[in-house]
Each structure stands twice: as structure tokens, then as C-alpha cells.
A and B are shown apart, each in its own frame.
Chain A
């Protein structure tokens, strides 16, 4: 039981870390530019497709990973310069409509290029296999590698925001857009960089997740919903909130799916325990979100307005 519990904790951590890669970009874009970007899931899909296509073409997973970062960042920068830039001064409804249209364009565009059937993408040879956990259970090496890579990106992001000149500008942009423009910072360029950075993180998450799941059109939307739940829980615009929210959602979802049916089985017959437990497990993160919003309406680390 201990080793199963430990394995589930790691699964929760892994799912949380991947969510953080998605949510951090989403929350940065919202915090700095005040933009709701529904097309963030499409950038995740672009990352996965770029990784699968390049890995199949060159035979190298690493080139695929680089391609996923580049493709998503380039797509992000182009979208920002061509479309998103016109939306900053519009209200949120216009932004939602325009970025929803982008989802449809990206999905159909991807279908047009790659077809409707899922692509093949597999774990590189030296990351296949399992490691032995304390307690004797096995854990897939690749999932462990994802956790390490995701945590490394998180640390890098905190250093970038906290310690570098670009980070100062990003934080200043969040605090007062008008003032930093008046101080001579090229705000257009800053916005493009932030958007491309968020897109690259989403693309990286797409490549990692695509390796363990299926690379197909429409893969971005379910993750996008979870990423929105994360930033609402964490507080919109807060990177720290995105990290805490991601881990909370990752653990809640994994542990809920694992423990709830068992918990109901203690006082119900097995088949209704499974049915009720699994139904409730799929709602659990939304229940957590509702509770958080009830106690802290602007999220765990949101600025109180």
C-alpha cells in the first residue's frame, strides 16, 4: 500500500508539473497584457505535432523537443504580432471570440497538414524502462524525467522573473503598463517576448505529454480548461499561484481518482461505489476551485482588488 501511495503521489506531482508549464504561460499573458488567450491549448498542440513530425523525420527525440519549443514560440510570436496586438485595448469578450476563432483555425490547419489520425511519438530509448522506488515498486523513468525537467523549467522561470532585467520589465508591465511605456521600454517587443515565452512553455508541455499520450487534433482543449482552473485557483497573473494551483490540481485529480472509489467502498456496495466515486472524482477539481473562490475570491495568490 505504501508503494502504491508513493507512486500515486509522484503521478500527481508529474501531472501538476505539466499543468504548470501550461498555466504559467497563460497567467503571464493575462497578468502582463490583460489578455484572455483561449488559443493557448493550440500552441500546446503545435508543440506536440512539431515534436512528433520532427522526431519521425530525423529519428531524434531531442531535435523533436527543440522543434516543439521553436515551433510554438514562432507560432506564438506571429499570432501576437498579427492578431493579438489588435486586441489589447478591446474588452475581454472580443478577446475570447478572436482567440476562439484561432483555436478553430489552428485545429483545422493541423488537420489539413497532418490528417485526422493520431501521430506516432514515443519515448527515446534511453528514457524507456522503470526505476525502483523505495518500497519496491517501479516507476516509469520517462515520467521521472518529466518531473525533473518541469521543475527545472519552473526554477528557471522564477529566476527569469525575479532576477533578470527582462523579469523586472515583465513585473513592471504587470504593475503599470502606461508607466513603463513612458519610461522608454519598447512595450510591443516586451509583449511579443512574453507571448512567445508562454507559447514555448506550452509547446514544451505538448511535446512531453504527447510522448505519453496521443498526438491528435483537439488535444489542447481539455488541458486548456484545466489550466484555466489552475490560474483561477492560484490567482490570475501570479506565477507562484500558478505553481501552487497546478500542484494542487494535479494531486487532487490523481488522488481523487485513486482514493474516492475506495472511500465509498467502505460503506457502499462495490459497483455503486465505483460509479459514484469515479463520477465525483471527475468533479473534484471543480469542487476545490469553488471552495477556493468561496474563501479567497481572487485566488490563493491573487492581488485583492
Chain B
């Protein structure tokens, strides 16, 4: 009798242990799937889900919701996902103003947040958190590289332009941090603005040697088209967001030759990246953008942590995330002390491959680059 009891107890203990090992992880993805910024969110989601599909891990469950690029909706969705869906991990936010509304309260409730894109400076320095990881970059990074590139290309002055929201401010301060020349004008536009006639007139009158602009999504399309029509011929420089794969087709040949900085490009030479570009194209019928690459890396990071630790053991899971033991499409991938990547940033040029416009790497702007806020972060 006693023997049976111990056997049952042992079996129960075994079962319990087995359950703990295969504990499901629930991910809440809040991203922009409708309205003007939809292309970015859809790319991030498709990249993420491609990795989820390839891993085919039955323990990973993903809930996806559309934030419509509105901070209030993003907050409601986060509350719903945390309280009702009981998610363990949140991800997906594209826009920094939405990230600022959601991330601090989510990580304070002991949820993990893995950023597929937005990484405002406020969350990298004093406001860093042990449960917050940025897989993409720190907001300033690509703009810092653009500033460095503009200087090394020999431009002595720049007219700089960005939307008036957290990432726009990070952008211009990042550019200025690495640009050695003079800033002739610094202009903030409204987020979502689509007519840039007034700004282009000022660019024409400024006499600057270069123009740096950070205008993601539809804003970038509108600016590039209007700039090409305006006859102003001051060279343009920008981060990859101003000219990602999703918007090149809408701008057309006017984009050719545009120099932009990125931590990812489809021609980074490694097996993971090659396979990613091929399978993404086969699955969705279009080339991936950098947002898709961040989504893909984020899912693979999460899957790598799930292989090592159970999400209910928060400390072990966090360490597993920190180790970043996965094959990134960017080649090497390491987190810095504030849990933002330390990485290379490239200069790309818009070229035509057959009939398709795309970006090609022409050089490296910054190597093993961290961010300006890491030293202010104490964890």
C-alpha cells in the first residue's frame, strides 16, 4: 500500500516537473495594424510570426491587437492583455509615444517587455528596467550613425527635420551628437503631417550642404515625393526609417541614391539573414523591411529564452533573455548593461535590383555601438 502511495507521489512529482518545463508562454503583441502607420506594424508582426511558425513551439501563444497608433488605445489593450488574457510578455509597439504610455506600467506589473522597434531615451537611461529589453536599437542609434556619416562625407552644415514626438527628439539629438558641422535649422513637424511644402521652402532658403530627415512611414513617402518635385538639390541623408522597404515602392525612382543608416539590411552576409529574407519573401510575397527583421529577432530571442528557463521563474527567464543566445539576422547580437543591443550600424544606398527598389550596404558607420544613456542606467 505504502509502495503504491510513493509511486503515485513520485509520478505526480514527475508530472508536475514536466508541466513546469513545458510551461506555456503567452505573448501579447500590441502593434499598429490600421491607419497611416500600418505598414510598419504589419511588417513587425509578420516577421515575428514567421519565426513563431518556423519554431512551431506548441507552448508559445501569441495574442495580437491593433493600437491604431493611438496611445490611449495601446494603454487599454495592455491593461486587457495583462488582466484578462494573463500574458507573460508584451511586445510589438512601433511608436515611441505609445511605448512611453505602455511600457513603464507593464514592467512595473512584472511583465516582460521586448521592444520590436520603439526605444525612447527615457527608457534607456535613468528609466531603464530589468524587465525591459530593446531588441531593435536605442532610438538615437541610427541617427547618430547618420550624423557621423554626414561628417565623414564632408558636409559642413545640415538642415535637420523630425516629427514632434519622443523618437523625433531622440533622432535630432542623436544626429547632433555625432555631426561635427553646423546646424542651419532644426525643424519639428507634426506627427502624421503629410504636406511639407513650408519646410521644403525653408530648406531651399537655408543654403545648407545637406538635409537630414527622420520621417517614418507615410510621412517619408510624402516628403521624398515633394522634395523631388521641388527642384531643391541639396543631398538628403536619413535613418533607414525614412526609406524602408515598405515605402520605397511608393516613392519610386526618386529614391535612387538616397543614403540611409541601418543596423539591418537584406544583404548582411550570414546564413540566418539569407534564410530569413528568402522565407519571408516566400511566405508574404514581398521583401522584408527592417521592422520585419526586428520582429523576427524578437521572436527568436523569446524562443531561445523559453528553451532555457520557465517564464514563471522570472529571474532565470530574465537571465536567459540577457544571454541572447539566438541566431540574429544581424549576425552577432549582444545586450549592453541597459539591455539595449551593442551593434554595428551600416550606411546603405537605395538601388534598383531588376524592377525592385531596395537598399544596399555601402559601408559601416559605427562599430560595436552602444548608446549615450547606458551609463545612467543602474540595475
Contacts and interface: CB of A to CB of B under 8 A. Distances in A.
Interface stretch (B246-254, B265-273, B332-340): B246-254
Contacts of A59: none
Contact of B202 (A143, A258, A282): A258
Contacts of B226: 140, 212-213
Nearest to A12: B198
Interface in A200-237: 209, 211-219, 221-222
B187 A278 contact: yes
Interface stretch (B32-40, B91-99, B121-129, B149-157): B32-40
B229 A118 contact: no
B218 interface: yes
A116 B222 contact: no
B205 A212 contact: no
Nearest to A122: B252
Interface string A95-134: 0000000000001100100001111111100001110000
Contacts, number: 131
Nearest to A142: B229
B195 A215 contact: no
Contact of B197 (A14, A107, A123): A14
Contacts of A1: 205
A213 B225 contact: yes
Given A122-B252, A222-B194, A216 B187 contact: no
Interface string B26-47: 0000000111101100100000
Interface string B340-378: 000000000000000000000000000000000000000
A11 B197 contact: yes
B222 A218 contact: no
B104 interface: no
Interface in B184-206: 186-190, 192, 194-195, 197-199, 201-202, 204-205
B220 to A, nearest CB: 8
A279 interface: yes
Given A118-B221, A130-B231, A212-B225, A218 B35 contact: yes
B122 to A, nearest CB: 16
In terms of DSSP, what is the predominant structure of the interface of chain B? helix
A68 interface: no
B230 interface: yes
B164 A214 contact: no
A7 B186 CA distance: 20
A212 B231 contact: no
A271 interface: yes
Contact of A282 (B164, B254, B286): B164
A138 interface: yes
Contacts of A118: 39, 218, 221, 246-247, 249-250
Contact of B198 (A107, A142, A254): A254
A8 interface: yes
Given A116-B39, A215-B250, A278 B229 contact: no
Contacts of B251: 120
Contacts of A123: 229
A298 interface: no
Contacts of A15: 195, 197
A120 B254 CA distance: 11
A4 B199 CA distance: 11
Given A122-B252, A213-B194, A275-B188, A117 B39 contact: yes
22 contacts: A111-B34, A111-B38, A116-B38, A118-B39, A118-B250, A120-B250, A130-B230, A138-B232, A140-B230, A142-B229, A143-B197, A143-B229, A213-B221, A213-B225, A217-B34, A217-B35, A219-B194, A257-B198, A271-B186, A275-B188, A278-B187, A279-B188
Given A15-B195, A119-B250, A138-B231, 4 more contacts: A116-B42, A117-B249, A140-B230, A271-B186
- Pick the 10 closest A-B CB pairs, nearest first: A214-B221, A130-B231, A11-B197, A118-B250, A213-B222, A218-B35, A214-B218, A278-B188, A213-B194, A4-B205
Interface of A: 1, 3-4, 7-8, 11, 14-15, 107-108, 111, 116-123, 128-130, 137-138, 140, 142-143, 209, 211-219, 221-222, 254, 257-258, 261, 270-271, 274-275, 278-279, 282
